[in-house]
Amino acid sequence: MSKYIIRRLLNLILILLGVSIIVFMLVYLAPGDPIRIMLGEDASPAEVERLREVYGLDRPVHIQYGMWLGNVLRGDLGTSIRQGRPVTTLIMNRLGATFELGFASLIIAVVISIPLGVLAALKHSSWLDFTTMVVALIGISMPGFWLALMLLTHVALHVEFFPLFGRGASFVGGFFQLLTEGSFTELYDAFRYVLLPAFSLGTASAALLTRLTRSSMLDVLRLDYIRTARSKGLGERVVVFKHALRNALLPVVTVLGLQLGVLLGGAVITETVFAWPGIGRLIVNSISQRDFPIIQAGTLMLATGFTVINLLVDLSYAWLNPRIRYD
């Protein structure tokens, strides 16, 4: 197992290196001169030249990449062209919001999908199964940002409980307040704000996971060991929850990590719809201003988060499923 972990870690480093090369090269090859964007079209050639030297943009590409990567590894993601502030600060201030939204969506997806998938499998070929599958298919086919707009139009505008835009208190702050002051106000506030964005973002994942849970459960329920469990007289509840569900959820767990990545990506658009102050909205706002250091760093951070989460999921899979041997 430890050999496997080391191999995966080395692979992770290679992949992140590849990610950094893509992120750097795309911006390097982008049309338009960042110094011109920074100084405006009226800047004198001498001034442009001077700044080009200051930022090292006059040096060969591999040197520029090396300098950039070195800075990134030291936690310096560059300076925003438009705002003049360190990108690291801008990103770090918003990282929590994006991950909170991503996790909240994943929790909503899991809470909806697993009971529904199990129920659909247990009532195989019934109207409940059919309805669940039709709803899941529509859920998969629906763009999250459209659902977001629909929820704003038909729910948030009419129900006072739901705020229209923005983010309330953070969940971390809410839990801290609960522990220190015993008050629920911040947690309640966080919950009110996150519910609609997380629901619209998590619906597609919920639909996909419902289908997966159902088909995996159906596969497991057909196996001999379930027949054995039933024939030795175990109650249906024990057979389903203790014997079948544990094995049926293994493929679901593998997909969870991938789904979190999909959610982090999808958050870019959902954050824009709900004015959620996360990295996604920061990236989108920076696109129209061609503020490349922010777009570059935001993409790098989200891709890194996605890769690391996937590795953790793969490793946890080994722990969950002792039948798997990696070396």
Partner 1 sequence: MDKKKKFLNSKQAVVGLILIGIMVLIAIFAYQIAPHDPYEQNLILRYQSPGGIGGEYILGTDNLGRCLLSRLIVGTRISLLVGFVAVGGSLITGLILGALAGYIGGWIDETIMRLMDVILAFPAILLAIFIVAVLGPGVVNAMFAIAIVRIPSMARVTRSQVLGLKEEEFVEAAQAIGASNFKILFVHILMNGFAPMMVIATLGMGTAIVTEAGLSFLGLGAQPPVISWGRMLASARDALRSAPHVTTYSGMAIVLAVLGFNLLGDGLRDVFDPKLGKNR
Q: How far is CA 185 from CA 105, 174, 195, 297, in A?
A: 22, 8, 16, 34
Among 2, 44, 141, 231, binds partner 1 (CB under 8 A): 141
Looking at residue 55, what DSSP letter applies? T
Q: What SS3 class is residue 284?
A: helix
Place of tokens 């697993």: 114
Positions in 149-168 near partner 1 (CB under 8 A): 149-150, 152-154, 157
Asked if 57 touches partner 1 (CB under 8 A), the answer is: no
- 190 token code pair: 């966080």
Binding segment (CB under 8 A) for partner 1, from list 42-50, 84-92, 146-154, 224-232: 146-154
Where is 294: in which H helix or E strand? helix 292-320
What letter would DSSP give residue 56? Answer: T
Nearer residue to partner 1 within complex by CB, 83 or 215: 215
**Ranges within 166-195 binding partner 1 (CB under 8 A):** none
CA dist 233 and 127 (Å) reads 29
Does residue 164 come out as left (phi exceeding 0), alpha (psi in the -120 to 50 range) or beta? alpha
Measured distance CA(200)–CA(146) in Å, rounded: 8
**Number of residues lying near partner 1 (CB under 8 A):** 53
**Separation of alpha carbons 267 and 273, rounded Å:** 10
Instruction: Find the binder of partner 1 among 284, 315, 318, 320 (CB under 8 A).
Output: 284
Q: Residue 169 has what DSSP assignment? A: S
95 binds partner 1 (CB under 8 A): no
- Shortest Cβ 216–partner 1 spacing (Å): 9
Q: Which stretch binds partner 1 (CB under 8 A): 41-49, 77-85, 138-146, 247-255?
A: 138-146
* Rounded Cα distance, 107 and 260, in Å: 10
Q: Which residue type occupies 265?
A: G
And the tokens for 10? 């080395």
Minimum distance between the CB of residue 215 and partner 1, rounded to whole angstroms? 4
Shortest Å distance, C-beta 140 to partner 1? 6
Site string for partner 1, 301-320 (x = CB under 8 A): -xx--xx-------------
Among 1, 6, 9, 14, binds partner 1 (CB under 8 A): 14
Name the minimum Å distance from CB 12 to partner 1.
Answer: 9
Instruction: Identify the residue among 1, 6, 10, 26 touching partner 1 (CB under 8 A).
Output: 26
For residue 218, the minimal CB distance to partner 1 (Å) is: 5
Out of 106, 256, 262, 297, the residue judged to bind partner 1 by CB under 8 A: 262
Binding mask 229-248 for partner 1 (x = CB under 8 A): --------------------
Q: Can you tell me the distance from the alpha carbon of 281 to that of 273, in angstroms, rounded to the nearest whole number?
A: 9
Closer residue to partner 1 (CB): 174 or 261: 261
State in Å, rounded, how far the first CA of the chain is from the last one.
7
Asked if 272 and 284 count as a contact pair (C-beta separation under 8 A), the reply is yes
- Cα 114 to chain centroid distance, Å, stands at 19
- State the residue for tokens 């929820």: 151
Query: Three-class SS of residue 79?
Result: strand
Running DSSP on this structure, what letter comes out for residue 31? S
Residue 23 as a binder of partner 1 (CB under 8 A): the answer is yes
CB 298, min distance to partner 1, A: 9
Instruction: Assess 83 for contact with partner 1 (CB under 8 A).
Output: no
Residues that bind partner 1 (CB under 8 A): 11, 14-16, 18-19, 22-23, 26-27, 29-31, 133, 137-138, 140-143, 145-147, 149-150, 152-154, 157, 214-215, 218-219, 261-262, 264-266, 268-269, 272-273, 283-284, 287-288, 292, 295, 299, 302-303, 306-307
